Amino acid sequence: MATTSIPASQAPGSTTKLNYLNNGHTLRSWLLTTDHKRIALLYLLSVTAFFFLGGFFAMLIRLELLTPEGDLMQADTYNKVFTMHGMIMVFFFLIPVVPAVLGNFLVPLMVGAKDLAFPRINLLSWYLYVIAGALFLHCMLNGGVDTGWTFYTPYSTAASNTNVIEAGLAVFIVGFSSIFTGLNFIVTIHRMRAPGLTWSRLPLFIWAHYATSLIMILGTPVVAITIVLVAVERVFHLGIFDPRLGGDPLLFQHLFWFYSHPAVYIMILPSMGVISELITCFSRKRVFGYKFVALSSIAIAVIGFLVWAHHMFVAGISLYAAMVFSFLTFLVGVPSAVKVFNWTATLYKGSITYATPMLYAFGFIGLFTIGGLTGLFLGTLGIDVHVTDTYFVVAHFHYVMVGGVVMGFLGGMHFWWPKITGRMYPEYWARLSALLVFVGFNLTFFPQFVLGYVGMPRRYWQYPPEFQVLNVLSTAGASVLAVGYILPMIYFLWSLRYGPIADANPWNAAGLEWQTASPPPTFNFDQTPVVTWEAYNYDEIPEKELEAPVAQ
């Protein structure tokens, strides 16, 4: 093999060099930028705003459930609050967060390209997100919506007197933002890889984003059309889902979950890509079974499309269909397990460093394993009948979607923060926040497994007094979790000004993104890199004392 040494630090103090951040300071230079890195930062600001808004609604839910009585709000208000929480978190945070922020920033850097294939479509995607967000905020201030994030019919078309159409339109528009991101990634990964960067040399982050993009492009149009059909039935009373008009309410659930179950994989796959990068870097080893981990992303994307009706086991689908979907649900556990086992095997005999990103990676594996395995409980017909629509389901999907996605996102943000900003974050505070997030998360959601198992249904504002202890634990955990989320906000902002300056490769990591300066120049690389090495060639990278400075 030819030259494999990676220049560890090209430009110490490189923040003074011309880079994508100091290349234009006007508002116009940001709002009309076609630089994928700047668009990633625009997305970061927007999704963070929606995350805290969604978190605000989560706190309202937890405060209401602190006591058995409905004393903080009315039942109708509670319905709107959990709907707002769900819609904001799913459509405006979880789906875009990793692809649109980290993916946008890193995909061109990791494949050695100067930008994404369609930079203007990338900017359009952010504007669509903002338009959809504004529409949703208007809907929220105008009384909100109370259908649950799932828009189930016939309630959404025949009964609800809230702003269903406006919320649906917002989801429709934000869906196109997601399609454009996926389109950009697929074309970029196919057509713009650096010379020598073959498919089998791609970072697993890229494989994960490729698989995610497939789901975005193939699935999102289906939910968009379904929401249009809801609007058509609501406005024109055409019989599509309403049985009184000759429609079929289960048709809505089939169409909705055909997208919305794979949407879970849109959320989790990019995070899995992040975790593969973190585990390899902080155990200084090539990932165990590269091809299996890479192809398991594609397998998850494809098999994820075959399992949707497990959301409908008690809704009245046929027993035959229920058995088929139950079997297929177990099948999707296989590629997920391949990833977890291979990450664990990568750790074996690795030279492990417990830096903050690695703590998040460990947190991800723990939480995703619990979330994934309880998913198999729910895929089992007999157990599902018992716990459907209880807090068991709520706990399960929070473990996968929040435990998985947010841990991956925060781990990735810490890992690539020096690349994005050219500054290090304070390691002590970051470790503390990783710990708070992990403990707070488990304290919030583990009691909900028990609550669901003993029969507390979801989506009620009151509950019998015997459930109170576990609900108080859950609310207490949510407070710890909130501190764990606010802390990184504070020290990330602090580090922008006071953080120690990072060199090009503070983690001594493999990957093309570490070969360019931190922060990278506008067109990413001074010369197009030529790749002659396999991914994660940590055995060939000379050991270097990690100089990640610890600021107290």
Partner 1 sequence: MAEPEHNVDPDLTIEHEHTTHSNAFYIAIGAILLVLTVTTAAVAFVNLGPFNPVVALLIATIKATLVVLFFMHVKGASEKLTGAVVVSGFFFLAILLSLSLADYLTRNWR
Binding site for partner 1 (CB under 8 A): 23-26, 28-29, 32-35, 113-115, 117, 119, 187, 190-192, 214, 218-219, 222, 250-251, 254-255, 258, 305-306, 308-309, 316-321, 324-325, 522-523, 528
CA separation (Å) from 164 to 80, 136, 147, 221? 11, 11, 8, 19
- The residue among 254 and 285 lying less far from partner 1, judged by its C-beta, is 254
DSSP 159: I
List the one residue out of 8, 111, 9 whose CA is nearest residue 541.
Answer: 8
CB of 319 to partner 1, least distance (A): 8
Helix (H), strand (E), coil (C) string for 385-454: HHHCCEHHHHHHHHHHHHHHHHHHHHHHHHHHHHHHHCECCCHHHHHHHHHHHHHHHHHHHHHHHHHHHC
- The residue among 8 and 39 lying less far from partner 1, judged by its C-beta, is 39
CB of 444 to partner 1, least distance (A): 35
> How close are the terminal C-alpha atoms of the chain, in Å?
42
- The two structure tokens encoding residue 349: 């005999």
- The residue among 325 and 449 lying less far from partner 1, judged by its C-beta, is 325
Is 444 within 8 Å of 436 (Cβ atoms)?
A: no
- The residue among 129 and 313 lying less far from partner 1, judged by its C-beta, is 313
List the one residue out of 405, 503, 392 whose CA is nearest residue 455.
Answer: 392
- The residue among 83 and 184 lying less far from partner 1, judged by its C-beta, is 184
- The two structure tokens encoding residue 271: 């995070």
Is 144 within 8 Å of 77 (Cβ atoms)?
A: no
- The residue among 84 and 214 lying less far from partner 1, judged by its C-beta, is 214
CB of 218 to partner 1, least distance (A): 5
Is 251 within 8 Å of 284 (Cβ atoms)?
A: no
Phi and psi dihedrals of 161, rounded to 5? -105, 25
CB of 217 to partner 1, least distance (A): 8
CB of 169 to partner 1, least distance (A): 23
- The residue among 222 and 510 lying less far from partner 1, judged by its C-beta, is 222
Cα 362 from Cα 381, distance rounded (Å): 31
- The residue among 315 and 435 lying less far from partner 1, judged by its C-beta, is 315
Cα 550 from Cα 552, distance rounded (Å): 6
CB of 376 to partner 1, least distance (A): 20
CB of 118 to partner 1, least distance (A): 8
Residue 241: HSE in the Cβ half-sphere, 13 Å Cα cutoff: 28
Annotate 198-259 with DSSP letters as a single string: -GGGS-HHHHHHHHHHHHHHHHHHHHHHHHHHHHHHHHH--SSS-GGGT--HHHHHHHHHHH
CB of 527 to partner 1, least distance (A): 11
Adjacent-strand bridge partners of 501 = 423
- The residue among 5 and 318 lying less far from partner 1, judged by its C-beta, is 318
- The residue among 32 and 454 lying less far from partner 1, judged by its C-beta, is 32
- The two structure tokens encoding residue 199: 């498919």
CB of 34 to partner 1, least distance (A): 6
- The residue among 186 and 436 lying less far from partner 1, judged by its C-beta, is 186
- The residue among 217 and 373 lying less far from partner 1, judged by its C-beta, is 217
CB of 95 to partner 1, least distance (A): 18
- The two structure tokens encoding residue 215: 């789901």
Helices 356-379/249-283 angle, 10° precision: 150
CB of 195 to partner 1, least distance (A): 11
CB of 181 to partner 1, least distance (A): 16
The residues, ordered by sequence, that sit 6+ positions from 515 with a Cβ below 8 Å of its Cβ are: 6, 7, 10, 504, 505, 525, 529
- The two structure tokens encoding residue 115: 């930008």
